[in-house]
Structure 1
């Protein structure tokens, strides 16, 4: 189809050139006749007509040659198309004769799993009174979405005002970053419009009050900001880190999606961020911070533990799971994977 379009365009262009050439030659003859009307007819009869005839004959020969070339190309395309169809029919019938390229067999739809490669897949998980097995929790959760309660889709909480002692209620507010490297805007747009201002204000506000703290997790943005600030501001950032006012959490290049991402990519982006932090700040994060992935993988928790992390925070789980954990007072837990030994 694409070759046919090219042939049509080429033929049209060639025809247009022929028409324009004829028009220019006739116009030139008419101009000569205007300048010398007495001898114009004689010149046309003696010389110009023969020259014009020669050019027309030459154009006709060129058109015939081009038509022959186009015909040969069209025949080649048709032959190629037919050979491809024949090859498909041979491949589908399974008869591969000598001279044809032998096609590789298609991959099976279901790949058998060697029990030695995935031992935990068939091993029953252990149960004990102090453990929560999420497979069991999911079996009896309704996963409904009622509207109401102390938070959206939460539940009502009541208490007796006389049960409290004289200890004041402690409320922990954690200022933290949540800067998507890509969502509604591009990475550079987010940095220019919002992120750089957040980080600049962070340096000013934290130095105004030593009690203020902030947690930052996206190294991709932090590194871009770092490259654009002067040495004085860099020294100020290092002092904030030393005083514990600025904490770098997780330390990955991004806050990765965990539900669909291969563990190779999870490890790669974690290495990228940790290498940058070690080189420029001498920091090694110990806390994981994952407040926005839509779905969490036990693989990420496993990788963070292997990277030396001591704790992590997750946020976006279903409201039914949050309510279950809150009612059973299990919002803080040790995340143990099925493939990890009991010890």
Structure 2
């Protein structure tokens, strides 16, 4: 007999949240599987924090259905949901020691003292802070305070851990360290993490799947690689990483589907590009996929090659960023050091005629916009 499929950790079905006439979420549906590190990513005002607050029970939804592990929780208060939350400000009790902060929720649940002690030690060791157990929050660095908040939330062993931009207050170096630490902890405990951020690097480096949001809608859901390499529209492509966009139109000739640039160059494209013929479209190429040089490359399988003029050459440390104006539009190319000529050669390109090229398999036809919702609501972006 076939076993029924396990219920997802979280499921939103056509969820809408309104504040008067303002729509914060508009018919959002999400399915987050147990054990995922799921990231809600988008600009300010996109609806990601509203989604997190709805899951946590901190605000009521207007319509739709919300389930946690298969149970409908629309009307359940936060303390009756099997979730816990790490906030950006950590919300540690300043008058309590680190150990007492971690123990607080366990004692409120009435766990025996011996079990409380075991869990406090277990989760402080998990985050590497057991030796700090007698310190107070005011004696901790930002990264240490963040890990205490994480230990406190995990100690209750929730089915779902909500993380509301917890790295936002940390400096860049510490933020990168905590990205590695959070990934390690997630792998070790196996709890479902739902992480809210506007930082694409955080999402790409930690998440198993990402939901890109804008204007109260989900624009795309997929793995970091799927979203980076195959964005569904120009908004997603522009928000996730840096992109070049060349205007033109989808065309079909004797050799198959292609994309005709405004200078007449035809770029071979996948057959899926035909689905965008009736809308405004652009060809997207990532800067790291664009080559640049005084001469086009030699090879048996020639890439797309167009001419232009290098208008800017900027040394960026481990790579050089070269901006080229062409008749088809402006292209940015990245030349990583060790994989190209010396920077002195690159500087000689400035104000000179150059060739830019790319493998057509590394370009994608994207629609100009996306689903409903204005781009003003989504914090800016292309029209659509």
Category of TM-score, reference length = shorter chain: under 0.3
Bigger helix share: 1
Q: Which has the higher contact order (CA 8 A, sep 6+)?
A: 2
Normalized against structure 2, the TM-score is what?
A: 0.24
- TM-score norm. by structure 1 comes to 0.26
